[in-house]
Amino acid sequence: MSSERLAALLDEYAELERRLADPAIHADQGTARRVGRRYAELVPLHKAAGELEQARADLAAARELGAEDASFAAEADTIADSLPALEERLAELLIPRDPHDAKDVIVEIKAGEGGEESALFAGDLLRMYTRYAERHGWVTEVIDAQDSDLGGVKDVSLAIKSKGVPEGGNGVWSRLKWEGGVHRVQRVPVTESQGRIHTSAAGVLVLPEAEDVDVTIDPNELRIDVFRSSGPGGQSVNTTDSAVRITHVPTGIVVSCQNEKSQLQNREQAMRILRARLLAAAQEQADAAASDARKAQVRTVDRSERIRTYNFPQNRITDHRIGYTAYNLDLALAGELDGVLDALAEADRAARLAGETELSRR
Protein backbone atom coordinates (compact mmCIF):
# COMPACT_ATOMS: atom_id res chain seq x y z
CA MET A 1 0.00 0.00 0.00
CA SER A 2 1.49 3.36 -1.01
CA SER A 3 1.44 5.68 2.00
CA GLU A 4 2.50 8.58 -0.23
CA ARG A 5 -0.40 8.03 -2.61
CA LEU A 6 -2.84 7.66 0.29
CA ALA A 7 -1.62 10.90 1.87
CA ALA A 8 -1.89 12.75 -1.44
CA LEU A 9 -5.45 11.54 -2.05
CA LEU A 10 -6.56 12.40 1.49
CA ASP A 11 -5.08 15.88 1.05
CA GLU A 12 -7.00 16.20 -2.22
CA TYR A 13 -10.18 15.08 -0.45
CA ALA A 14 -9.72 17.79 2.20
CA GLU A 15 -9.11 20.44 -0.45
CA LEU A 16 -12.20 19.41 -2.43
CA GLU A 17 -14.28 19.46 0.75
CA ARG A 18 -13.05 22.99 1.42
CA ARG A 19 -13.90 24.11 -2.13
CA LEU A 20 -17.40 22.64 -1.99
CA ALA A 21 -18.05 24.45 1.29
CA ASP A 22 -17.35 27.76 -0.46
CA PRO A 23 -20.65 29.14 -1.86
CA ALA A 24 -18.76 30.89 -4.66
CA ILE A 25 -18.06 27.62 -6.45
CA HIS A 26 -21.76 27.08 -7.12
CA ALA A 27 -21.88 30.16 -9.34
CA ASP A 28 -20.27 27.97 -12.01
CA GLN A 29 -22.37 24.81 -12.23
CA GLY A 30 -19.89 23.08 -14.54
CA THR A 31 -17.03 23.52 -12.09
CA ALA A 32 -19.23 22.59 -9.13
CA ARG A 33 -20.29 19.37 -10.89
CA ARG A 34 -16.71 18.37 -11.74
CA VAL A 35 -15.47 19.07 -8.21
CA GLY A 36 -18.48 17.25 -6.77
CA ARG A 37 -17.83 14.20 -8.93
CA ARG A 38 -14.19 14.00 -7.89
CA TYR A 39 -15.14 14.47 -4.24
CA ALA A 40 -17.68 11.64 -4.55
CA GLU A 41 -14.95 9.40 -5.99
CA LEU A 42 -12.75 10.00 -2.94
CA VAL A 43 -15.46 9.60 -0.28
CA PRO A 44 -15.11 5.76 -0.13
CA LEU A 45 -11.32 6.08 0.17
CA HIS A 46 -11.60 8.62 2.97
CA LYS A 47 -14.09 6.42 4.79
CA ALA A 48 -11.97 3.26 4.40
CA ALA A 49 -8.82 5.04 5.56
CA GLY A 50 -10.66 6.39 8.60
CA GLU A 51 -12.05 2.96 9.50
CA LEU A 52 -8.60 1.36 9.23
CA GLU A 53 -6.98 4.10 11.31
CA GLN A 54 -9.68 3.76 13.97
CA ALA A 55 -9.33 -0.05 14.02
CA ARG A 56 -5.57 0.20 14.50
CA ALA A 57 -6.04 2.70 17.32
CA ASP A 58 -8.63 0.42 18.96
CA LEU A 59 -6.27 -2.54 18.62
CA ALA A 60 -3.43 -0.68 20.33
CA ALA A 61 -5.74 0.36 23.17
CA ALA A 62 -7.20 -3.14 23.58
CA ARG A 63 -3.74 -4.72 23.73
CA GLU A 64 -2.61 -2.24 26.34
CA LEU A 65 -5.67 -2.89 28.49
CA GLY A 66 -5.45 -6.63 27.78
CA ALA A 67 -2.35 -6.87 29.91
CA GLU A 68 -4.59 -6.39 32.93
CA ASP A 69 -7.99 -7.65 31.72
CA ALA A 70 -8.49 -10.84 29.70
CA SER A 71 -11.72 -9.53 28.13
CA PHE A 72 -9.74 -6.77 26.40
CA ALA A 73 -7.25 -9.36 25.16
CA ALA A 74 -10.10 -11.23 23.45
CA GLU A 75 -11.34 -7.96 21.94
CA ALA A 76 -7.85 -7.28 20.62
CA ASP A 77 -7.88 -10.63 18.83
CA THR A 78 -11.24 -9.79 17.23
CA ILE A 79 -10.00 -6.39 16.05
CA ALA A 80 -6.78 -7.92 14.74
CA ASP A 81 -8.80 -10.42 12.70
CA SER A 82 -10.73 -7.57 11.06
CA LEU A 83 -7.64 -5.67 9.92
CA PRO A 84 -6.76 -7.71 6.78
CA ALA A 85 -10.20 -7.08 5.22
CA LEU A 86 -9.95 -3.36 5.98
CA GLU A 87 -6.42 -3.21 4.54
CA GLU A 88 -7.51 -5.08 1.40
CA ARG A 89 -10.43 -2.72 0.89
CA LEU A 90 -8.18 0.32 1.18
CA ALA A 91 -5.57 -1.23 -1.13
CA GLU A 92 -8.28 -1.81 -3.73
CA LEU A 93 -9.43 1.81 -3.49
CA LEU A 94 -5.85 3.01 -3.96
CA ILE A 95 -5.55 1.29 -7.34
CA PRO A 96 -5.80 4.02 -10.00
CA ARG A 97 -9.35 3.95 -11.32
CA ASP A 98 -10.70 4.74 -14.74
CA PRO A 99 -10.68 8.56 -14.90
CA HIS A 100 -14.00 8.55 -16.80
CA ASP A 101 -15.98 6.43 -14.31
CA ALA A 102 -18.08 9.36 -13.09
CA LYS A 103 -18.96 10.56 -16.59
CA ASP A 104 -22.16 10.27 -18.59
CA VAL A 105 -22.00 8.44 -21.92
CA ILE A 106 -23.02 8.50 -25.55
CA VAL A 107 -23.91 5.05 -26.88
CA GLU A 108 -23.73 4.57 -30.64
CA ILE A 109 -25.43 1.51 -32.14
CA LYS A 110 -24.97 0.60 -35.79
CA ALA A 111 -26.65 -2.16 -37.75
CA GLY A 112 -24.18 -4.45 -39.48
CA GLU A 113 -24.30 -7.72 -41.35
CA GLY A 114 -27.77 -9.18 -41.66
CA GLY A 115 -29.67 -6.43 -43.48
CA GLU A 116 -33.09 -5.57 -42.03
CA GLU A 117 -32.72 -8.19 -39.30
CA SER A 118 -29.57 -6.46 -38.08
CA ALA A 119 -31.43 -3.15 -37.95
CA LEU A 120 -34.21 -4.77 -35.91
CA PHE A 121 -31.62 -6.18 -33.52
CA ALA A 122 -29.98 -2.75 -33.23
CA GLY A 123 -33.42 -1.47 -32.20
CA ASP A 124 -33.60 -4.24 -29.57
CA LEU A 125 -30.25 -3.11 -28.16
CA LEU A 126 -31.44 0.50 -28.08
CA ARG A 127 -34.50 -0.53 -26.04
CA MET A 128 -32.33 -2.71 -23.78
CA TYR A 129 -30.02 0.17 -22.85
CA THR A 130 -32.92 2.58 -22.50
CA ARG A 131 -34.70 0.22 -20.09
CA TYR A 132 -31.48 -0.41 -18.15
CA ALA A 133 -31.05 3.35 -17.79
CA GLU A 134 -34.63 3.69 -16.54
CA ARG A 135 -34.00 1.02 -13.89
CA HIS A 136 -31.08 3.09 -12.58
CA GLY A 137 -32.91 6.39 -12.64
CA TRP A 138 -30.78 7.76 -15.48
CA VAL A 139 -32.00 10.11 -18.18
CA THR A 140 -31.84 9.10 -21.86
CA GLU A 141 -31.91 11.26 -24.97
CA VAL A 142 -31.79 10.12 -28.59
CA ILE A 143 -29.34 12.55 -30.21
CA ASP A 144 -29.65 11.20 -33.73
CA ALA A 145 -31.23 8.15 -35.37
CA GLN A 146 -31.73 6.66 -38.81
CA ASP A 147 -34.69 4.29 -38.79
CA SER A 148 -35.06 1.26 -41.02
CA ASP A 149 -38.09 0.33 -43.10
CA LEU A 150 -39.39 -2.34 -40.69
CA GLY A 151 -39.08 -0.32 -37.50
CA GLY A 152 -35.47 -1.04 -36.56
CA VAL A 153 -32.57 1.42 -36.54
CA LYS A 154 -29.68 1.60 -38.96
CA ASP A 155 -27.68 3.99 -36.76
CA VAL A 156 -28.53 5.68 -33.49
CA SER A 157 -26.72 7.85 -30.92
CA LEU A 158 -28.15 7.72 -27.39
CA ALA A 159 -27.01 10.01 -24.56
CA ILE A 160 -27.39 8.55 -21.05
CA LYS A 161 -26.97 10.81 -18.04
CA SER A 162 -27.06 10.27 -14.29
CA LYS A 163 -29.04 12.64 -12.11
CA GLY A 164 -26.85 14.75 -9.84
CA VAL A 165 -23.45 13.56 -8.61
CA PRO A 166 -23.11 9.75 -8.83
CA GLU A 167 -22.48 8.02 -5.52
CA GLY A 168 -18.86 6.97 -5.06
CA GLY A 169 -18.03 8.47 -8.43
CA ASN A 170 -19.69 5.50 -10.16
CA GLY A 171 -21.46 7.17 -13.05
CA VAL A 172 -22.97 5.76 -16.23
CA TRP A 173 -19.56 5.08 -17.81
CA SER A 174 -18.51 2.88 -14.87
CA ARG A 175 -21.32 0.48 -15.81
CA LEU A 176 -21.73 0.72 -19.57
CA LYS A 177 -18.08 0.97 -20.66
CA TRP A 178 -18.10 -2.82 -21.03
CA GLU A 179 -20.68 -2.69 -23.82
CA GLY A 180 -18.45 -1.51 -26.65
CA GLY A 181 -17.96 -4.13 -29.36
CA VAL A 182 -19.89 -6.39 -31.70
CA HIS A 183 -23.10 -7.97 -30.40
CA ARG A 184 -24.30 -11.06 -32.27
CA VAL A 185 -27.88 -12.34 -32.39
CA GLN A 186 -29.10 -15.81 -33.32
CA ARG A 187 -32.83 -16.11 -34.00
CA VAL A 188 -35.50 -16.64 -36.66
CA PRO A 189 -35.91 -13.24 -38.35
CA VAL A 190 -39.38 -11.85 -38.98
CA THR A 191 -38.47 -11.84 -42.68
CA GLU A 192 -37.65 -15.61 -42.68
CA SER A 193 -40.44 -17.71 -44.18
CA GLN A 194 -38.79 -21.13 -43.65
CA GLY A 195 -38.29 -20.80 -39.89
CA ARG A 196 -34.49 -21.00 -40.15
CA ILE A 197 -32.25 -19.46 -37.50
CA HIS A 198 -30.09 -16.63 -38.84
CA THR A 199 -27.06 -14.92 -37.35
CA SER A 200 -26.58 -11.16 -37.66
CA ALA A 201 -24.74 -8.49 -35.73
CA ALA A 202 -24.82 -4.89 -34.57
CA GLY A 203 -21.91 -2.74 -33.41
CA VAL A 204 -21.97 -0.78 -30.15
CA LEU A 205 -19.59 2.05 -29.30
CA VAL A 206 -19.69 3.61 -25.84
CA LEU A 207 -18.08 7.02 -25.39
CA PRO A 208 -17.67 9.04 -22.18
CA GLU A 209 -19.43 12.32 -22.86
CA ALA A 210 -16.85 15.08 -23.00
CA GLU A 211 -17.26 18.48 -21.41
CA ASP A 212 -15.85 21.66 -22.90
CA VAL A 213 -12.82 21.51 -20.59
CA ASP A 214 -12.00 17.95 -21.68
CA VAL A 215 -11.48 18.70 -25.37
CA THR A 216 -10.32 21.83 -27.15
CA ILE A 217 -11.67 22.16 -30.69
CA ASP A 218 -10.35 24.80 -33.06
CA PRO A 219 -13.29 26.04 -35.18
CA ASN A 220 -10.85 26.55 -38.06
CA GLU A 221 -10.26 22.79 -38.12
CA LEU A 222 -13.92 22.00 -38.77
CA ARG A 223 -15.66 21.58 -42.12
CA ILE A 224 -19.41 21.97 -41.71
CA ASP A 225 -21.86 20.91 -44.41
CA VAL A 226 -25.66 21.12 -44.36
CA PHE A 227 -28.07 18.89 -46.21
CA ARG A 228 -31.71 17.83 -46.27
CA SER A 229 -32.82 15.24 -43.72
CA SER A 230 -34.01 11.86 -44.98
CA GLY A 231 -36.01 8.99 -43.51
CA PRO A 232 -36.39 5.24 -44.13
CA GLY A 233 -35.88 4.31 -47.75
CA GLY A 234 -34.06 7.58 -48.41
CA GLN A 235 -37.14 9.77 -48.82
CA SER A 236 -36.85 13.40 -47.81
CA VAL A 237 -38.58 14.29 -44.56
CA ASN A 238 -37.58 17.93 -44.42
CA THR A 239 -37.94 20.70 -46.97
CA THR A 240 -35.02 22.74 -45.54
CA ASP A 241 -31.31 22.02 -45.23
CA SER A 242 -31.43 21.44 -41.47
CA ALA A 243 -29.22 18.34 -41.21
CA VAL A 244 -25.57 18.98 -40.33
CA ARG A 245 -22.37 17.09 -41.10
CA ILE A 246 -19.19 18.11 -39.25
CA THR A 247 -15.75 16.90 -40.30
CA HIS A 248 -12.81 17.33 -37.93
CA VAL A 249 -10.09 17.79 -40.53
CA PRO A 250 -7.00 16.81 -38.47
CA THR A 251 -8.44 13.42 -37.45
CA GLY A 252 -10.88 12.79 -40.30
CA ILE A 253 -13.70 12.13 -37.80
CA VAL A 254 -17.09 12.78 -39.40
CA VAL A 255 -20.30 13.31 -37.41
CA SER A 256 -23.75 14.03 -38.79
CA CYS A 257 -27.04 14.82 -37.09
CA GLN A 258 -30.52 15.28 -38.60
CA ASN A 259 -32.97 14.54 -35.79
CA GLU A 260 -33.78 18.15 -34.87
CA LYS A 261 -35.76 20.54 -37.03
CA SER A 262 -33.31 23.35 -36.41
CA GLN A 263 -29.91 23.47 -38.12
CA LEU A 264 -28.47 25.08 -34.97
CA GLN A 265 -29.79 22.29 -32.75
CA ASN A 266 -28.40 19.63 -35.08
CA ARG A 267 -25.04 21.37 -35.03
CA GLU A 268 -25.00 21.43 -31.22
CA GLN A 269 -25.88 17.73 -31.05
CA ALA A 270 -23.23 16.83 -33.62
CA MET A 271 -20.63 18.77 -31.61
CA ARG A 272 -21.54 16.72 -28.52
CA ILE A 273 -20.78 13.51 -30.40
CA LEU A 274 -17.60 14.97 -31.92
CA ARG A 275 -16.25 16.01 -28.50
CA ALA A 276 -16.94 12.52 -27.15
CA ARG A 277 -15.18 10.87 -30.10
CA LEU A 278 -12.16 13.16 -29.81
CA LEU A 279 -11.92 12.46 -26.08
CA ALA A 280 -12.08 8.71 -26.77
CA ALA A 281 -9.40 9.03 -29.46
CA ALA A 282 -7.11 10.96 -27.11
CA GLN A 283 -7.65 8.35 -24.40
CA GLU A 284 -6.83 5.52 -26.81
CA GLN A 285 -3.56 7.24 -27.74
CA ALA A 286 -2.68 7.62 -24.07
CA ASP A 287 -3.59 3.99 -23.38
CA ALA A 288 -1.49 2.79 -26.30
CA ALA A 289 1.48 4.75 -25.05
CA ALA A 290 1.06 3.26 -21.58
CA SER A 291 0.42 -0.33 -22.67
CA ASP A 292 0.58 -1.92 -26.10
CA ALA A 293 -1.58 -4.75 -24.78
CA ARG A 294 -4.63 -2.56 -24.32
CA LYS A 295 -7.18 -2.90 -27.08
CA ALA A 296 -9.71 -0.35 -28.29
CA GLN A 297 -13.38 -1.16 -28.66
CA VAL A 298 -14.33 -3.08 -31.77
CA ARG A 299 -15.41 -0.63 -34.45
CA THR A 300 -16.19 -3.03 -37.26
CA VAL A 301 -19.37 -5.04 -37.42
CA ASP A 302 -17.85 -8.42 -38.28
CA ARG A 303 -19.60 -11.37 -36.63
CA SER A 304 -16.20 -13.00 -35.96
CA GLU A 305 -15.23 -10.13 -33.64
CA ARG A 306 -18.18 -10.54 -31.32
CA ILE A 307 -18.05 -9.79 -27.61
CA ARG A 308 -21.52 -11.16 -26.80
CA THR A 309 -24.09 -13.51 -28.30
CA TYR A 310 -27.87 -13.31 -27.82
CA ASN A 311 -29.38 -16.72 -28.65
CA PHE A 312 -33.17 -16.51 -28.78
CA PRO A 313 -34.02 -20.24 -29.21
CA GLN A 314 -32.09 -21.05 -26.00
CA ASN A 315 -32.99 -17.78 -24.21
CA ARG A 316 -29.23 -17.50 -23.68
CA ILE A 317 -26.86 -14.54 -23.31
CA THR A 318 -23.12 -15.25 -23.46
CA ASP A 319 -20.29 -12.80 -22.95
CA HIS A 320 -17.25 -14.27 -24.70
CA ARG A 321 -14.64 -12.11 -22.93
CA ILE A 322 -15.14 -13.75 -19.54
CA GLY A 323 -17.06 -16.92 -20.42
CA TYR A 324 -20.26 -15.66 -18.77
CA THR A 325 -23.47 -17.47 -19.74
CA ALA A 326 -27.01 -17.04 -18.41
CA TYR A 327 -30.36 -18.30 -19.64
CA ASN A 328 -32.32 -15.12 -19.02
CA LEU A 329 -32.06 -13.35 -22.36
CA ASP A 330 -35.65 -12.13 -22.11
CA LEU A 331 -34.87 -10.36 -18.84
CA ALA A 332 -31.60 -8.92 -20.16
CA LEU A 333 -33.37 -7.41 -23.16
CA ALA A 334 -35.90 -5.94 -20.71
CA GLY A 335 -33.03 -4.04 -19.07
CA GLU A 336 -31.88 -6.48 -16.39
CA LEU A 337 -28.20 -6.33 -17.35
CA ASP A 338 -26.63 -6.18 -13.90
CA GLY A 339 -25.77 -9.90 -13.92
CA VAL A 340 -23.41 -9.70 -16.88
CA LEU A 341 -22.17 -6.20 -16.01
CA ASP A 342 -21.38 -7.25 -12.42
CA ALA A 343 -19.42 -10.23 -13.76
CA LEU A 344 -17.43 -7.96 -16.10
CA ALA A 345 -16.74 -5.48 -13.29
CA GLU A 346 -15.55 -8.27 -11.00
CA ALA A 347 -13.23 -9.62 -13.71
CA ASP A 348 -11.77 -6.15 -14.16
CA ARG A 349 -11.36 -5.69 -10.40
CA ALA A 350 -9.55 -9.01 -10.07
CA ALA A 351 -7.27 -8.14 -12.99
CA ARG A 352 -6.39 -4.76 -11.52
CA LEU A 353 -5.70 -6.24 -8.09
CA ALA A 354 -3.40 -8.75 -9.76
CA GLY A 355 -1.66 -5.92 -11.59
CA GLU A 356 -2.88 -7.05 -15.00
CA THR A 357 -4.20 -5.00 -17.89
CA GLU A 358 -7.69 -3.65 -17.29
CA LEU A 359 -10.50 -5.38 -19.10
CA SER A 360 -12.18 -2.02 -19.58
CA ARG A 361 -12.90 -1.00 -23.20
CA ARG A 362 -11.41 -4.23 -24.55
- Side-chain half-sphere CA neighbours of 89 within 13 A: 15
Same domain, 202 and 225: no
Give the mean model confidence (pLDDT) for residues 102-130: 92
- Check residue 119 and give its pLDDT: 94
pLDDT band at residue 150, thresholds of 50, 70 and 90? confident
Same domain, 112 and 171: yes
Residue type, 98: D
Give whole-number Cα distances, 48 to 86, 233, 250, 349, in Å: 7, 57, 45, 17
- Check residue 240 and give its pLDDT: 61
Per-residue model confidence as pLDDT tens digits over 245-291: 999 999 999 999 988 878 899 999 999 999 999 998 888 877 665 55
Return the CATH number at 248.
3.30.160.20
End residue of a domain, out of 64, 94, 124: 94
pLDDT band at residue 305, thresholds of 50, 70 and 90? low
Give the contacts of 223 (CB within 8 A, at least 6 positions apart).
246, 247, 249
Per-residue model confidence as pLDDT tens digits over 152-205: 999 999 999 998 878 888 899 999 999 999 999 999 987 777 878 999 999 999
Beta bridge partners of 201: 184
pLDDT band at residue 293, thresholds of 50, 70 and 90? very low
End residue of a domain, out of 70, 94, 118: 94
The reply to whether 295 falls in a domain is no
Domain count across the chain: 3
Q: Are 227 and 241 in contact (CB under 8 A)?
A: yes
pLDDT at position 300 over 50: no
Give the mean model confidence (pLDDT) for residues 197-214: 88
pLDDT band at residue 33, thresholds of 50, 70 and 90? confident
- Per the document, the length of the chain is 362
Residue span of the structural domain in which 161 resides = 105-212+301-354
Return the CATH number at 170.
3.30.70.1660
How many CB atoms are located within 10 Å of the residue 142 CB? 14
pLDDT band at residue 294, thresholds of 50, 70 and 90? very low
- Check residue 29 and give its pLDDT: 82
- Going by C-alpha positions, the residue among 198, 204, 199 that lies closest to residue 179 is 204
Per-residue model confidence as pLDDT tens digits over 47-61: 999 999 999 999 999
Give the contacts of 121 (CB within 8 A, at least 6 positions apart).
111, 114, 152, 183, 185, 200, 201, 202, 310
Same domain, 114 and 208: yes
Residue type, 10: L
Same domain, 112 and 204: yes
Higher pLDDT, 57 or 34: 57
Q: Model's pTM, two decimal places?
A: 0.76
Same domain, 67 and 128: no
The reply to whether 258 falls in a domain is yes
Same domain, 312 and 350: yes
The reply to whether 257 falls in a domain is yes
The reply to whether 318 falls in a domain is yes
- Check residue 341 and give its pLDDT: 96
- Check residue 64 and give its pLDDT: 86
Q: Are 179 and 107 in contact (CB under 8 A)?
A: yes
Same domain, 190 and 316: yes
The reply to whether 294 falls in a domain is no
Same domain, 268 and 167: no
Per-residue model confidence as pLDDT tens digits over 54-90: 999 999 998 888 878 778 888 888 999 999 999 988 9
Rounded distance between C-alpha atoms, residue 128 and residue 120, angstroms: 12
The reply to whether 348 falls in a domain is yes
Residue type, 123: G
- Check residue 151 and give its pLDDT: 84
- Going by C-alpha positions, the residue among 203, 1, 189, 186 that lies closest to residue 90 is 1
User: pLDDT averaged over the chain?
Assistant: 86
The reply to whether 134 falls in a domain is yes
Same domain, 75 and 1: yes
End residue of a domain, out of 94, 128, 154: 94
Return the CATH number at 75.
1.20.58
Same domain, 316 and 333: yes
Per-residue model confidence as pLDDT tens digits over 7-18: 999 999 999 999
pLDDT band at residue 242, thresholds of 50, 70 and 90? confident
- Check residue 356 and give its pLDDT: 47
Same domain, 155 and 204: yes
The reply to whether 278 falls in a domain is yes
Same domain, 82 and 144: no
